[in-house]
Amino acid sequence: MIYSEVSGTISEILVSHDQIVEKETDLLIIECMKMLIPVTTKNRGKIINIYVKEKDIINEGDKLIDMNYDI
């Protein structure tokens, strides 16, 4: 599970359900303190669930994306 490390607004979602992404891929962008902060996957995997949509206001610790790394 990937949680948000900052509070802010979901600016852009860059991946979709079932998509396979390589490690260090940017998954979504959070606007926080007027900066655009990418959320990145550390490992290669498949997108299982996306818990947010664009313009959502999120808090630190909120669920963002669930991935399956066993592919």
Partner 1 sequence: MSWEKELEEKVSREKLSENLGGKDRIKKQHDAGLYTIRERIDILTDKSSFNEVGKLAGHAIYNENNDLIDFKGSNFIFGKAKIDGRNIIVGGDDFTLRGGSADASIKEKHLKCEQMALSLQLPLIRIVEGSGGGGSVKTIETSGRANVPEVEGWNFVVESMGTIPRVALGLGSVAGLGAAHLACSHYSVVVKEKSAVFVAGPPVVEQIGQKLSKNELGGYEIQLKSGAVDDAVDTEEEAFKAAKKFLSYLPNSVYQLSDQIISKDDPKRTSEWLIEAIPKNIKSVYKIRPIIKDLVDKGSFFEIGKEYGKSIVTGFCRLNGWPIALMASDPYSYGGCWTSDTCKKVQKFVDLAETFHLPVIYLVDCPGFQVGLDAEKKGTIKEGVRAMSAIWQTTTPWMSIIIRNCFGVAGAAHKRGSSYISRFAWPSARWGSLPLEGGIEAAYRSDIENANDPKLELQKITTRLNKLRSPLRSAESFLIEEIIDPRHTRRIMCEFADLSAPLRKTGITKRTMRP
For binding to partner 1 (CB under 8 A), which residues are involved? 5-7, 32-38, 59-60
Cα 67 to Cα 71: distance, rounded to the nearest angstrom: 10
Tokens of 18: 């079932």
Residue 34 vs 53, nearer CB to partner 1: 34
Shortest Cβ distance from residue 63 to partner 1 (Å)?
Answer: 15
Shortest Cβ distance from residue 66 to partner 1 (Å)?
Answer: 17
Cα 24 to Cα 40: distance, rounded to the nearest angstrom: 5
Residue 20 vs 35, nearer CB to partner 1: 35
Shortest Cβ distance from residue 11 to partner 1 (Å)?
Answer: 9
How much helix, strand and coil, in percent to the nearest 5, is found in the chain?
A: 0, 50, 50
